[in-house]
A and B are shown apart, each in its own frame.
Chain A
């Protein structure tokens, strides 16, 4: 399958502007600005059925159409804060296929009637941003950014805003707070960014990978885009594969491809040919999904995964083999969420702290079975009570791991049932009695 997103794997020098241009680069942006109205661009993206690739899977064209009419200026903010453990797709896209990403952001801006794009990039991607700044400078030199683009009245600027090590800034409203120079703490919604976003103005916030799909849709049309993927989950997705596999990495596949293909064909299977105990499909924010043959044949699209009571999310697939202990796994994920909790709302701030406290004691062998029950209780007090998804997702791996692999937790406790005593050796059979002589023999 020719790559649509990771095009550098087919065309190695596509990070160079002239190579990108030679392969149809910026024809879509030119077509949009010169031949289409913003509303027509929105309709095409709606028809293509593109869904957000940052994890929520919300229909992109629909999100754009929510921008409050007659309210200006508009802003487009690209969420390049990629911080979910197990996710590294946007890093590769921005490093190796930067102009397609930028073109996608630019078409998004045109459709949104925005003249300014802010690309919010996590601070750890410092050198990626240095590279993108050079790309943006080249676009200004070639009159693809700036004023009077293609001789029209449309003007567009792109700026980069570096994050500084806060996962919560991947939540769109916290991200906007961060650009505004404040703590990255989520806002109460409504109002939503499409109504009151950056600086209180209508704002579209989209993930890096999402916008990287847009040039293809505008250049080739919605119908062509829909040739990949499923009816409800069209297109291709960059799947991030990590953990216990031989070849971790990014792999672009149509949505609906099977988990088996990702892990065994692309990922080269599990080191030592060990069995897979479970997978986490959405990074640390995942349901821990026990794996059997039917799960390996599960289609990786938003609906099929939801049918298994899990979420595809950002498709950050972490593979746990049979030697992995789920009490340890949830210690790792909970430590992450506790560290990253912004502190604004009590259930998350206090709850992640206490879940971590209990899990640390469990893993050190200092807990009782009642503490494992308490962990369940604390998770229940966080559930459905948090201001933003961070708190909600912090309990997802804990509750699902306890449901599917309770023994992993109980096995660490001081009062776990003692291991079954080995069966006592059977008493020696008494020697068969010689038959008593019967009178008459």
Chain B
């Protein structure tokens, strides 16, 4: 239960908004639930509804609308790749296809060791660094770009980054 484990965090969140506007806390509380459980369950939806005074169906509506909230569990880390126009012009389609092939999975599948789920996302605001990706896990959302300065990221580098995260 979030209220038992995170009373201070919940109070900090509520304090950001006017006292009579607890509904504003729904989005940060969804992130809090996701950081704890890895996804947002119907129980978490109900609890967030209780904390904010919002009907669970409306909380669930927010959960469903925004693409970074997930209503089902996945691998430990969601590897999120963009193939929108600017990324695609720099080879992101081929990069993504090759990376999936190396890890032996298709889109929305999880690697057999349960570590990585590959998800397609829309533009992540780093088009000059393409190909690139971000990882969403219980610590948040973290961007990964090429570590070799001006040179674009290679699939080898991406695989090495993922392997490094496993440790």
CB-defined contacts of A284 to chain B, threshold 8 Å: 84-85, 123
CB-defined contacts of A180 to chain B, threshold 8 Å: 21, 23-24
A-B contact count (CB 8 A): 148
User: CA–CA, A249 to B126, complex, Å?
Assistant: 9
Interface-located stretch among A47-55, A61-69, A79-87: A79-87
Neighbour of A164 across the interface among B31, B61, B125, CB < 8 A? B31
Neighbour of B124 across the interface among A124, A280, A320, CB < 8 A? A124
Q: Can you name the residue of chain A whose Cβ is closest to the Cβ of B30?
A: A164
- Cβ A85 vs Cβ B85 within 8 A: yes
Main SS class of interface, B? mixed
Known: A199-B18, A333-B85. 20 other contacts (CB 8 A): A85-B127, A124-B68, A159-B17, A164-B31, A164-B69, A165-B121, A167-B122, A181-B24, A181-B27, A183-B61, A184-B66, A242-B86, A242-B90, A242-B128, A242-B130, A243-B86, A248-B128, A248-B129, A318-B86, A319-B89
- Cβ A179 vs Cβ B24 within 8 A: yes
Interface residues as binary, A360-374 with B (CB distance below 8 Å gives 1, 0 otherwise): 000000000000000
Query: What are 7 A-to-B residue pairs whose CB atoms are below 8 Å?
Result: A82-B125, A84-B123, A88-B127, A159-B16, A167-B122, A199-B21, A284-B84
- Cβ B66 vs Cβ A91 within 8 A: no
CB-defined contacts of B30 to chain A, threshold 8 Å: 164
Show the binding face of A for B, using Cβ within 8 Å: 82-88, 90-91, 122-127, 130, 159, 161-167, 178-184, 199, 240-244, 247-250, 280, 284, 318-320, 324, 329, 332-333, 335-336, 339-340, 342
- Cβ A164 vs Cβ B67 within 8 A: yes
- Cβ A86 vs Cβ B69 within 8 A: no
User: CA–CA, A68 to B52, complex, Å?
Assistant: 30
- Cβ A83 vs Cβ B24 within 8 A: no
Interface residues as binary, B114-158 with A (CB distance below 8 Å gives 1, 0 otherwise): 000000011111111110001000001111000000100000000
Top 7 A-B pairs ranked by shortest CB distance?
Answer: A164-B66, A181-B23, A165-B67, A248-B128, A165-B68, A242-B86, A181-B26
Supposing A181-B26, A181-B62 touch, asked if A86 and B67 sit within 8 A by C-beta, the answer is: no
User: CA–CA, A415 to B118, complex, Å?
Assistant: 38
Docked complex: B7-26 residues within 8 A CB-CB of A: 16-18, 21, 23-26
Q: Let me know if B162 is at the binding interface, CB within 8 A.
A: no
Neighbour of B84 across the interface among A85, A130, A179, A320, CB < 8 A? A85
- Cβ A126 vs Cβ B84 within 8 A: no
Q: Let me know if B54 is at the binding interface, CB within 8 A.
A: yes
Q: Can you name the residue of chain A whose Cβ is closest to the Cβ of B15?
A: A159
Neighbour of A162 across the interface among B23, B31, B121, CB < 8 A? B31
Neighbour of B86 across the interface among A86, A125, A179, CB < 8 A? A86
- Cβ B128 vs Cβ A181 within 8 A: no
Neighbour of A243 across the interface among B21, B25, B89, B141, CB < 8 A? B89
User: CA–CA, A284 to B69, complex, Å?
Assistant: 25
Neighbour of B141 across the interface among A124, A184, A335, CB < 8 A? A124
CB-defined contacts of B16 to chain A, threshold 8 Å: 159, 161
CB-defined contacts of B150 to chain A, threshold 8 Å: 247
Question: Which among B127, B134, B143, B150 has the highest number of chain A CB atoms within 10 Å?
Answer: B127
Distance in angstroms from A88 CB to nearest chain B CB is 5
- Cβ A122 vs Cβ B88 within 8 A: no
Distance in angstroms from B161 CB to nearest chain A CB is 15
Docked complex: B71-115 residues within 8 A CB-CB of A: 83-86, 88-90
Supposing A164-B69, A181-B27 touch, asked if A91 and B125 sit within 8 A by C-beta, the answer is: yes
CB-defined contacts of B85 to chain A, threshold 8 Å: 85-86, 243, 280, 284, 318, 329, 332-333, 336
Q: Let me know if B28 is at the binding interface, CB within 8 A.
A: yes
Supposing A249-B128, A250-B128, A336-B84 touch, asked if A126 and B140 sit within 8 A by C-beta, the answer is: yes
User: CA–CA, A178 to B62, complex, Å?
Assistant: 9
User: CA–CA, A285 to B100, complex, Å?
Assistant: 30
User: CA–CA, A374 to B16, complex, Å?
Assistant: 50
- Cβ B126 vs Cβ A91 within 8 A: yes
User: CA–CA, A184 to B121, complex, Å?
Assistant: 18
User: CA–CA, A318 to B123, complex, Å?
Assistant: 13
Distance in angstroms from A379 CB to nearest chain B CB is 18
User: CA–CA, A324 to B16, complex, Å?
Assistant: 48
Neighbour of B123 across the interface among A125, A161, A164, A336, CB < 8 A? A336
Q: Can you name the residue of chain B whose Cβ is closest to the Cβ of A339?
A: B122
User: CA–CA, A178 to B126, complex, Å?
Assistant: 23
- Cβ A241 vs Cβ B62 within 8 A: no
Neighbour of B125 across the interface among A88, A166, A320, CB < 8 A? A88
- Cβ A162 vs Cβ B125 within 8 A: no
- Cβ A124 vs Cβ B66 within 8 A: no
Neighbour of A332 across the interface among B88, B124, B143, CB < 8 A? B88
